[in-house]
Amino acid sequence: MNIQETYTTLGLSDSEYDRILELMGRAPNYLELSLFSVMWSEHCSYKNSRPLLKRFPNRGPRVLQGPGENAGVVKVGSGWALVFKMESHNHPSAVEPYEGAATSVGGIIRDVLAMGARPVALLNSLRFGPLEDERNRYLFREVVRGIAGYGNAIGVPTVGGEVEFAPAYSGNPLVNAMCIGLVRDHVFVRARAVGEGNLVVLFGAKTGRDGIHGATFASDELTEESEEKRPNVQVGDPFAGKMLVECSLSLLEKNLLVSLQDLGAAGITSSASEMAAKGGFGIEINVEKVPLRERGMEPWEIVISESQERMLAIVEPEKAEEVLRVAERFELAAAVIGRVAGHEDLRILHGGEVVGSVPAPHLADAPVYEREVVPPVYLEEVRKLNPENFPALQDYNATLLRMLSHPNLCSRRSVYEQYDHQVGTNTVVLPGADAAVMRIKGTTLGFAAVTDCRGRYCYLDPKAGGAAAIAEAYRNLSCTGAEPVAVTDCLNFGSPEKREGYYQLAACIEGMAEACEALGTPVVSGNVSLYNETEEGPVYPTPSVGMVGIFEDIRKRATPAIKREGDALVLVGGFRPVLDGSEYLEIMHGRVAGAPPAPDLISEKAVSDTVRCTISAGIVDTAHDLSGGGLSLALAEMALMGSIGAEVWLLPGGRQDVVLFGEVGGCVLLAVHEEKLEELEDLLEGVHYVGIGHTGGEKLSLSGLVDLELTELLEAYEQDLFERHAPEGGQLG
């Protein structure tokens, strides 16, 4: 293989190889070229997204650490802080779904752990192709099994998430994992190599060949040959992961570590070079000291292996023996594998000789690609929609039941019941609500967390869709009573080298940034996953948003479930539903089309902030936002969650199918005791609201259009997603 074939195989372009020659002043050897290959991959370097990511606001009154470290950190109160981040494992999950999903959980846990925090909650955001397809059903089943298998065994509760299905995700599922950790706000850790002569200690599982060039694989489009890349998928061990968590926290509690970094994409190479670059020092690694589980591994394999459950620590020499003893007590392999040096190089030693040496700043200095942002031609066609072309709806009962049973709208119980969501006994609002709610023991404090994104909206209008994802997360947290404070994200897009993909990425980021600025929710961490394409085309632009909110008093919270008979139903917000981009349009008419309106961010904030005030004042304990499926779906969900019916006698004017099934942002449904209506109206002054009905009975009755028993609704809603398949000779509705 000639040199061009070598660097091309490693994922480097001609211009990138030329830049390496310029930086090094010589031709790199294979090991050095491998270092550049993984560190300059899209997965590690963000070379197509870095300029765009600068648009995100990342400062705020609660922000203690923004982007640039393993995870973001926000202040809670009483000396506590939350550490959180979201990441993707899309390509690995496409070819090895169980291990791909399992290691996504393990990897995001270690990101939070590397900040010195105890992981306390997991969430996810998942996308798959339609369940009629056998391969999609397999991917869906195994991904959920992988998340459950790792999260349940490691002892961190999976408390929330979302899953959607669309043809655009066939063959390229999206598997995004979010972790939240708890730490004292003055003791979180930063990953920097400092102190010449300090030692580098590797501890955790032994190193093998799994995951070699996994970062490069994650930066390629998926093709029929991708199945051959199963060795690029890491293999996780949740029991070793649990020991790693406890060992790391013990070492930090004993003040034995200078700094700590997890080993994820690019393994030792990434961790060591990033710590060196941030600290302004060099690191020398002796690969013969690395504990191995396979014989005959070459130096380049050792340093880029992505074997799981490993951490890298900088340790003062006099504390090294104690660090090794603590690791041994937790039955983990541990060894001093290098030292911090006065130069700025990442040097790899083998047999007493330097077999590779690259200045760490060069590895961190990947080329940046800024491209022209040009709207793609498809937008002109897909945004054309005239609702008047659709016939009037004849059977509202049948339509609501069909909507409720659709995989995008039905109950997710069959998914979240596979997860242990109560381990640790801190989960106070279980999965199925607008957001998960957790307590902080020994205090009145708590936090809420949610993941949100509407890929279909982002496809039809990337900027508006990006803003809508932030707004929906803000609204969902507010419906629990939590104050939204900060965002993490996982930006899942197709190839940035294509006009369509780069426009979607840039426009979604712009929309998200505008929403974050308007709502006061800075982005403190995140991940970018590009090249999510198959030979059939790219996925929908899917900027998954993870948002956290804070409770000063967790006792004052709300859920969507109707609590009492006789409560007044109040619709808060400017109710202007449309069919554009709605679930109704796709389910009932087979269309993904239209121009979903951009969220009114001023109104969004006013409505959500007002709803939070009603909850904290103890007036409201039932709140639910309007989202997929519109007003009718929201009412049905509230009734089913509380096992109490509802009667709505007032529906706004206009086409009633649009009123009941059209979608709108910025609206929340409240159920409030009649005796508290006057207090509620005082707090709602300044925002639009209207009473539309009351709770009670065992039916859902909507202005004479819908009249269904709760038992009928429940039968439609409680679908087992894992049992769904296309009926013989037909398709799923």
Report, as residue numbers or ranges, the catalytic residues. 43, 89
Instruction: Round to whole Å and give the CA distance between 311 and 337.
Output: 12
Structure-block tokens of residue 313: 């620590």
In this structure, are residues 449 and 549 in contact, taking their beta carbons and an 8 Å threshold? yes
Instruction: Round to whole Å and give the CA distance between 504 and 510.
Output: 10
DSSP helix/strand/coil, 48: coil
Positive or negative CA dihedral for 121, 126, 132, 135? negative
Q: Which amino acid is at 515?
A: A
Structure-block tokens of residue 536: 């059939």
**Hey, how many other C-beta atoms are within 10 angstroms of the C-beta on 553?**
13
In this structure, are residues 611 and 670 in contact, taking their beta carbons and an 8 Å threshold? yes
Give the start-end residues of each E strand in 149-188: 158-165, 174-184
Positive or negative CA dihedral for 321, 323, 328, 332? negative
463-472 burial, b at 16+ Cβ within 10 Å, e below that, comes to: bbbbbbbbbb
Instruction: Round to whole Å and give the CA distance between 203 and 270.
Output: 16
579-590 burial, b at 16+ Cβ within 10 Å, e below that, comes to: bbbbbbbbbbee
Q: Which ranges in 288-384 belong to alpha helices (H)? A: 299-304, 320-329, 360-364, 378-382
In this structure, are residues 396 and 707 in contact, taking their beta carbons and an 8 Å threshold? no
Instruction: Round to whole Å and give the CA distance between 536 and 291.
Output: 43
Q: Bridge partners of 334?
A: 203
Q: Which ranges in 114-237 belong to alpha helices (H)? A: 134-154, 214-217
Which of these, 111, 57, 36, 49, lies nearest to 308 by C-alpha position?
111
